[in-house]
Structure 1
């Protein structure tokens, strides 16, 4: 670990290299200009508990500022933690939890740690929703999407609790198959449905998870002029409000 003098020397070097004024550094670390000046002049011992603030202000790694390897940094933090009384350890632990929660919340609000997905129209988990290939909406999701051909947004509650209103579903075009209860997006002419699909004799049976909804029966194969497309659901996720 660096000595107090070495830490101060490094801060001064970085400050000069970045052409940062004393006033700006003090503002960045949230301290009085006179206090920062006293540290840099060697009139006061550098406060190790503010090392993170100085490192962040100078855009350098805190371990580098303190002269610690990763393992040494962990060891130093552990040593400091166990020097505290039990009540103070508890305060530190809760503070770390709170800071982590705030950081994650900030990442979401900044749009970091999320993935952009271009979703087409709305997919009815109910009685059908008008299908429009050109009606797109870009949404943010917290998890990396799987491989998919189309994405759409669930509208309605007929597939709850498995698929909630506002969820995004990922769809793969696997052509026609022998469906036996797979959850699929079914486009029938200009209407779309999210249902469990059963292929029966000369019809498709679309079944909701929510028992409040009746089955929907669709002639299959389609007659001339009728249009049916079926996409298998390969994943789902909630959306994030930015």
Structure 2
């Protein structure tokens, strides 16, 4: 199976061999030209969950793009890639469980190499505090767990248990520092006066197209 960079190079070379411009590929796939450019420039990971869309546009099989040998595994299922339907969480109702119906604003389907562990939910990112690691409008997949290790990125409930934010975690004594990736933002300190609650660990980032 090809690596991310190899998949990108295969798709880009296939596009060129077929005389297809990025504009034409964007039209055929229904994706934004700017997103395609980022994939081909390798500034964003290739969206494996969209492999069928690219395969149809380029008149090949998804297995061709993924680089599955003809004598080897044939399908995504045989590769151990499992589509998982994940609820997208909006503003979290005060006091309600994370995955309560009133919190769910939609669903996304993601491919995983094997069955993921634990309950999962997704958040749509707003803002640039976690760029370049997590850009604005990205979708993050979060595994529900009450604690994370230092330097891991977590979804944290703040603002009176109503708003979820994404930050890198750093424990200092009895305080928790929520660290942005973007240096123009200041850390958020969680303590008795400004409490918060870890909802889970970010395990995957997908990019809106």
TM-score (norm 2): 0.51
**Distance between the aligned counterparts of 1:136 and 1:112, measured in 2?**
26
Once the two structures are superposed, the pairs formed by residues 197-236 of structure 1 within 5 Å of their partners are: 197-219=169-191, 228-236=197-205
Once the two structures are superposed, the pairs formed by residues 146-161 of structure 1 within 5 Å of their partners are: 147=116, 149-161=120-132
Greater C-alpha Rg: 1
In structure 2, relative to structure 1, the CA distance for the partners of 1:137 and 1:113 (3 Å cut) is farther
The residue aligned with 2:28 is: 106
1:237 to partner: Cα distance: 0.7
RMSD: 3.7
Once the two structures are superposed, the pairs formed by residues 132-151 of structure 1 within 5 Å of their partners are: 132=93, 133=98, 134-138=102-106, 144=111, 147=116, 149-151=120-122
Structure 2: tracts of 5 or more residues without a match: 1-14, 32-49, 54-82
In structure 2, relative to structure 1, the CA distance for the partners of 1:194 and 1:236 (3 Å cut) is same
Q: How many residues align?
A: 134
**Distance between the aligned counterparts of 1:202 and 1:100, measured in 2?**
52
Structure 1: tracts of 5 or more residues without a match: 1-92, 122-129
1:228 to partner: Cα distance: 1.7
**Greater share of helix:** 1
The residue aligned with 1:166 is: 137
The residue aligned with 2:92 is: 131
Q: Would you say the 8 A contact 1:182–1:197 is kept in 2?
A: yes
Q: Runs of 4+ in structure 1 displaced over 6 angstroms?
A: none
1:140 to partner: Cα distance: 5.8
